[in-house]
Homo-oligomer: A and B are copies of this chain.
C-alpha cells in the first residue's frame, strides 16, 4: 500500500516544480529572543545532568559512586516520600469512573475501598461539573467549586467575605502567574518588582513578556525578611529611570527562602501598592507548609483589614493571590490545579483577563476538583476524617523532622550558613566557599555555586539547584535543596561530600 501511494505522489510535481534550492533551516537567531533568553534553573543544566546520570545507572548500575539520584531540585513531593491523601484519590477515582456510583452497594462496601463521604463528595462534584470531568468547564472554572474556594477563603480570613466571581480555577499557580503577567506587562517600560532570591518562574516570565525585572533583595541576615523600605526605594529608582513599577511579586511563604511574612510587613507592602498603584501578585502556594510557631497571613486578609481601618486609603489596591494543589498536604503536582483570587480589579481588566483565560478554554477539570478537596477536607464526623487527619499529620511531621535534621547538619559544617526553616519545602543555605574553590570554578568557566552543586551531584547523586538560578546578592553563593527526599542517608552523604570538598579546596 505504501508503494502505491508513493507512486501517486510522484505525479504531483513537474521537474520544474522541483527545480528549487531548499531554504536554510531556522536557527536560534530566528527565534523569539524573549523566549531564548528566559532562564529556568529548576529544570536547568544540573537537573538535566542528573537525568543523564539516572539513565546511566539504569544501564550500568555499578558505574557511579552512588546508586540513586536524589531529586532535591524541585518541590515534587509524590516523586519522593509523600503519599497522596486517600480521600482525595477516592473522590477522583469515582469522578473518573462514575460506574462506581452505580455498583452494587453491598459488594462495594465489602471491598472497603471507598468511604461514604468520598462517594457523596464525588456525587456533589459531578453535579457541579455537569456530569463528566471530560467536558470543558466554564473558562473561569466550575461555579460550584469556585463557591467552595470562596467559602474557604472567608473561613481562613476570619470572616472577610470572598466571592466566587473573584475566583479563577487555573492549571496550577504557574499558569495563573503567566496569564496575569502577560496581561499586566504592557511593554518594555513595565517593571516587575521581584524578590531576590525568587522562584525563577517570575524572572522567566518577565523575559517572556519583555518587562523589566526590578529586583528587591531579601535580607538574609534577618531570616530572609522582606523590607518594605527596600521595595519602595526600588520602585522610586525605577520611576526616575522612566520605568513604571507595574507589578509587585510577593512569595509568602518564600521560595526558595522559606521565610514567612509578618502581618506588619504585608501591611507595608499594601501601602506601597496603594501609593504607587502597583498590582500585587501574592504567591501563597506554600500557605499550608508553615512550621511551629509561625503563622501564615494572607495578603488579602491584611488588605481587607487595612481597608476597614483606613477607609479610602487602600481601596485602590489591586491584588491577585495564588494557591496550588501541588504543595501543602495535597502535593498533587502532576494533576495541575490551583486557584487565583483577584481583588480590586476594574471590570475592563476582569474582562480582559477572562478573555485571555478563555483562549486556553479551561483548566483541567480533575485539577479543579482537587482544589475543592484541598479547601474542604473531611470534617469531624465524616467517615474519612480520622484517616485523613492521620495522613496529614504524617506528612507534616516527616517534612518538619527532615527540615530540622538538614538544618542542624548544615549548622555544624564549616563554610555553610543556614536560616532556621519557617515554611515552604526548601532550605537555601549560603556557601562561604574558599578561594581555591572559587579559582577552580573560574577555571571551569562556571559559577562557584554551580561548581559546588555539580560536584555534589557527581559525587553523591544529590540533585540541587545553585543559588544563581534564583538570584542572590553579588558575591554570595547559595544552594537550594528541598527537604522532601526520604530517609537520612542522603543527608549523611551530603555531609561527607561537603567535608571532603572543603578538605580539597580549603585555602
Is A10 in contact with B364, judged by CB distance below 8 angstroms?
no
A135: chain B residues at CB < 8 Å are 76-79, 333-334
A174: chain B residues at CB < 8 Å are 359-361
Within 8 A of B (CB), among A306-359: 306, 308-310, 312-316, 318, 326, 330-336, 344-346, 348-349, 352, 355-356, 358-359
Question: How many copies of this protein are present in the complex?
Answer: 2
Taking the complex as formed, is A490 at the interface, i.e. its CB lies under 8 A from any CB of chain B? no
Name the distance in Å between A195's Cβ and chain B's nearest Cβ: 18
A205: chain B residues at CB < 8 Å are 359
Is A23 in contact with B96, judged by CB distance below 8 angstroms?
no
Binds B, one of A31-39, A214-222, A417-425, A467-475: A31-39
Taking the complex as formed, is A504 at the interface, i.e. its CB lies under 8 A from any CB of chain B? no
A129: chain B residues at CB < 8 Å are 334
Taking the complex as formed, is A65 at the interface, i.e. its CB lies under 8 A from any CB of chain B? no
Taking the complex as formed, is A12 at the interface, i.e. its CB lies under 8 A from any CB of chain B? yes
Is A136 in contact with B334, judged by CB distance below 8 angstroms?
yes
Binds B, one of A179-187, A397-405, A441-449: A179-187
Taking the complex as formed, is A68 at the interface, i.e. its CB lies under 8 A from any CB of chain B? no
Complex CA–CA separation, A104 to B302 (angstroms)? 52
Is A318 in contact with B26, judged by CB distance below 8 angstroms?
yes
Known contacts A31-B183, A32-B183: A132-B84 contact under CB 8 Å: yes
Taking the complex as formed, is A292 at the interface, i.e. its CB lies under 8 A from any CB of chain B? no
Within 8 A of B (CB), among A426-458: none
Interface size class of A (residues with CB under 8 A): 35 or more
Taking the complex as formed, is A375 at the interface, i.e. its CB lies under 8 A from any CB of chain B? no
Is A274 in contact with B315, judged by CB distance below 8 angstroms?
no
Taking the complex as formed, is A175 at the interface, i.e. its CB lies under 8 A from any CB of chain B? yes
A363: chain B residues at CB < 8 Å are 336
Known contacts A6-B308, A182-B35, A334-B364: A96-B99 contact under CB 8 Å: no
Known contacts A17-B271, A25-B318, A334-B133: A32-B359 contact under CB 8 Å: no
Which of B10, B25, B204, B264 contacts A316, CB < 8 Å?
B25
Is A364 in contact with B335, judged by CB distance below 8 angstroms?
yes
Looking across the interface, which residue of chain B has its beta carbon closest to that of A274?
A: B22
Known contacts A93-B93, A137-B334: A186-B33 contact under CB 8 Å: yes
Which of B25, B187, B344 contacts A346, CB < 8 Å?
B25
Known contacts A25-B346, A334-B136: A20-B275 contact under CB 8 Å: yes
A93: chain B residues at CB < 8 Å are 93-94, 96-97, 100
Looking across the interface, which residue of chain B has its beta carbon closest to that of A179?
A: B35
Name the distance in Å between A348's Cβ and chain B's nearest Cβ: 4
Complex CA–CA separation, A468 to B132 (angstroms)? 31
Known contacts A30-B246, A31-B183, A184-B32: A302-B103 contact under CB 8 Å: no
Taking the complex as formed, is A412 at the interface, i.e. its CB lies under 8 A from any CB of chain B? no
Is A103 in contact with B113, judged by CB distance below 8 angstroms?
yes
Top 6 nearest A-B pairs (CB, nearest first) are A23-B277, A93-B97, A334-B365, A43-B358, A79-B135, A92-B96
Name the distance in Å between A135's Cβ and chain B's nearest Cβ: 4
Complex CA–CA separation, A36 to B305 (angstroms)? 33
A51: chain B residues at CB < 8 Å are 138
Looking across the interface, which residue of chain B has its beta carbon closest to that of A43?
A: B358
Is B309 in contact with A10, judged by CB distance below 8 angstroms?
yes
Taking the complex as formed, is A381 at the interface, i.e. its CB lies under 8 A from any CB of chain B? no
A344: chain B residues at CB < 8 Å are 25
